[in-house]
Amino acid sequence: LEDDLARRDLTINALAEDDHGNLVDPFGGARDIQARVLRHVSSAFAEDPVRILRVARFLARFAADGFTIAEETKTLMREMVAAGEVDHLVPERVWAETRKALGESTPSAFLRTLRECGALEILFPEIDALYGVPQRTEYHPEVDTGIHNEMVIDMAARLAPGDDLIGFCAMTHDLGKALTPAHELPKHIMHEERGVAPVRVLAERLRVPNEHAEMAVLCCRLHLLAHRAFELRAETLFGLIEKLDAMRKPQRLAQFITVCEADQRGRLGMTESTYPQAGLLRAAHAAAVDIKATAFVAAGMQGPAIAEAQRKARIRAVAAIKDAFP
């Protein structure tokens, strides 16, 4: 039994109970639970670099309970990264741990842990590049884009607990800000378009599910439109719904709204704010859905004329909702 426990990664997992109900704890796991410390069991930890991701993921789960990583474990993780242990991790294993971390309560702890040991730059260079990039203080009191990204993924975890698709979209929505030319800072003109390429590169490298990749691109490209929903013309507002393919896939609108709300509230001093744009987007979508093609068929229209008439009617319906929206 003790040989088996010695092969565990963390002391808090190297615990057992014998047939008589006695605790078997050869590595002080119970003590570390009391002290809220994540500590590696032995030097065998260094034999599997996935354990770096696992420690980061465990902190994402337990950071809210006051857990920290033991200094000697942090040192070992940095040594493993410096030795090139994470350079050739299999993408599927990286994604498996990342996916779990994004479903935890404090996914920012996952990114911070990887960054502190040097693994973020290797495994997620697109995300690592966000740190130190300034934003306009009137919109982002937290200033640093990397910190904003951490706040957004934590808010996403709060709004959609356990939803790693929402988490992935939140984590990648602002990748374009790392590509803003220095002379444009702290503004980020067209960052939503600049971000599409790195989102695709990251998604392909990690081999994330197609649904995650497609939705992440949409959130990256379109999130500013959601924030400006009340300023948009009815045609543009309906065009946003069309670009999301939300007429056929209504769940996409719900996912998109959640990511956008996380972006809006994932800022210093904004965590308890409201997101009224969500109500407008939902109402506009509902109004558009109510316009069926059957009425135009009954009027004798055929072919492309039906689609065109239906689209115009839907835009009018969206306009009416927008005008009446409080």
Q: Are strands 16-17 and 23-24 parallel, antiparallel or unpaired?
A: antiparallel
Whether CATH 1.10.3210 fits 124-237+250-273: yes
Each residue of 295-310: pLDDT tens digit? 888 777 778 888 888 8
Among residues 259, 190, 11, 205, the alpha carbon closest in space to that of 95 is found at 205
- What pLDDT was estimated at residue 5? 85
CA distance 38 to 206: 26
- What pLDDT was estimated at residue 325? 85
Residues of the chain with pLDDT under 50: none
- What pLDDT was estimated at residue 86? 95
- What pLDDT was estimated at residue 1? 77
- What pLDDT was estimated at residue 180? 97
- What pLDDT was estimated at residue 246? 96
The burial of 286, by beta-carbon neighbours within 10 Å (0-12 exposed, 13-18 middle, 19 or more buried), is given as middle
Among residues 187, 178, 192, the alpha carbon closest in space to that of 224 is found at 192
Let me know: does 285 contact 159? Beta carbons within 8 Å.
Answer: no
Q: What is the pTM of this model?
A: 0.93
Q: What is the DSSP letter of 40?
A: B
- What pLDDT was estimated at residue 299? 76
Among residues 191, 188, 193, the alpha carbon closest in space to that of 136 is found at 188
- What pLDDT was estimated at residue 296? 82
DSSP calls for 169-207:
HHHHTTGGGGGS-GGGTT--TTHHHHTHHHHHHHHHHHT
Let me know: does 61 contact 16? Beta carbons within 8 Å.
Answer: no
- What pLDDT was estimated at residue 234? 96
- What pLDDT was estimated at residue 305? 86
